[in-house]
Structure 1
């Protein structure tokens, strides 16, 4: 976390206020962040050093979940909301490595993400990749725009990784999930990660308070019961709601479970 490169500055961006997409990029070892992002990132890291492990475990979970969906589950369409800044092994790269004809739509509303997504989120000739500039709360606009690339009569994997924690009202967050899953057919899947103060994350409470005072957007943690509430009507895949590092870990046959991180991960299927 030592890179000091100044990123491209698109219009509509306030580099003086730390933003989640850029701070997350910093924790992942990326290069697209400003001094304000690095300062807040270091302060949060000082309060909760596990945050870097959370960021990297979340990214690794994405890869495992997408490989399962594109492979064993046969999913060929992905709606990735809250994309964040492109890094290694983005959803389309993982999916199209397994299924070159996979179609992916990314959604975010950060101007820096928009600049990088349009430049970097390319596709295989057989598949398709598109980007929608929209707020996660505006599910109608997201679904309308995504329909230009995705066929909503066929199963879709709806991906909400580290997204619902920025929707502070749990009822509103549940409404977002419900509207999205109502729009996709049987056989579709929901992929979700969310920070928690369970699983050893109690030390994160102070860091979250600091974040909400000095960065944007504000964040909240949720417990396993609240996460389960997002899954109403869905069939939860094994191993259920677990630390994202322990969702179908690779090399599990070695007999040693990965360390838990304070981030839930779950995949569920619409019957």
Structure 2
């Protein structure tokens, strides 16, 4: 369950409790419901407040509010990848999870996999682990990095450059790992400890087939967090989440969270941080 009071000190929380909101439950509504209300009843000011990228007063990410990002598809669909034969045939929700690792075809092995993951990061429905995965999906795989349709500040003359970046990343760096049994004893690419023959391991298709990780070691080199849904980018033989891979190649705007493709964007970011007046409204 969500901790519905955990952001009681945040101005966004207060805004959603204002008289212009017709019922208190809207504080907990999904973003799609809030969008519909604002558009039908022409509440542009409230709409701007709700959908902007971050709460500009307290600077906390929107995904940490009780108002959450719209419902996500699977990561494979989010990335535009085709169905893969390594995808588990087990429906994760029937087992009580929001995600299960690809490559595992039985419920017993799925349980074995999650037994070696920190319990607070296991995406079991209704637990802290489910909330952790939701936050990591938004953080590690920002949708404005994935498709031009989600960008608000890429001008026409920079669209080609953006598309080239996405195409090159998808071709040479971005992929989804899967789980398999270790064919013979080898060293974990993460911790260098031994992976014994038959032990469950994560493999990454952009690496050599012999390169394997313990499930708990398949982490972003920069943020040291488990790679959400085993989605990774490779750079200089290291694995990263998409966010930190992109930031090694392009700077990111701290105001709108988009990758910066022009000098004007840098100026806007500086003005945003220095302005003493109301912060600009960044829509998602």
Q: With the length of structure 1 as denominator, give the TM-score of the two structures.
A: 0.27
Q: Greater relative contact order (Cα 8 A, min sep 6): structure 1 or 2?
A: 1
